[in-house]
Amino acid sequence: FFLYPSYYREGIPRGILEALSMCLPIITTNLPGCNLTVQEGINGFLIDGRSSVAIIKAVKMILSRSDFENMGIESRKIAEQYFSEDIIFSEIENLYKI
């Protein structure tokens, strides 16, 4: 799994995008950008920022899941569906058309 407990508003972190593409379940904070990469309980968990208790709880939840590998597969699907080059480039192109 990939743990990214950021507490900064930084958009969508490249590290999370790379983890999604590598079929890893994600644990990250429920902040703008980071929260766009996780479907709660499907491919990972969102936690409160700056909480070691929340991190420990989420890690235990992921490691105890019998469908751990499926969570990673779901991460890859999210990467392909929302963050592929084709989709991002198309959105950028549409912005410039306006």
Q: Partners of 44 in the beta sheet?
A: 26, 40
Inform me whether the pLDDT recorded for 86 exceeds 80: yes
Return the beta strands (E) in the chain as ranges.
Answer: 2-4, 26-29, 44-47
- pLDDT at position 27 is 97
pLDDT in tens, 66-81: 999 999 999 999 999 9
Q: What mean pLDDT, rounded, does the chain reach?
A: 93
pLDDT greater at residue 42 or residue 95: 42
Stretch 5-20: mean pLDDT: 92
Kind plus residue range of the DSSP H or E element containing 47? strand 44-47
Contact 28, 34 (CB under 8 A): yes
SS3 of 25, please?
coil
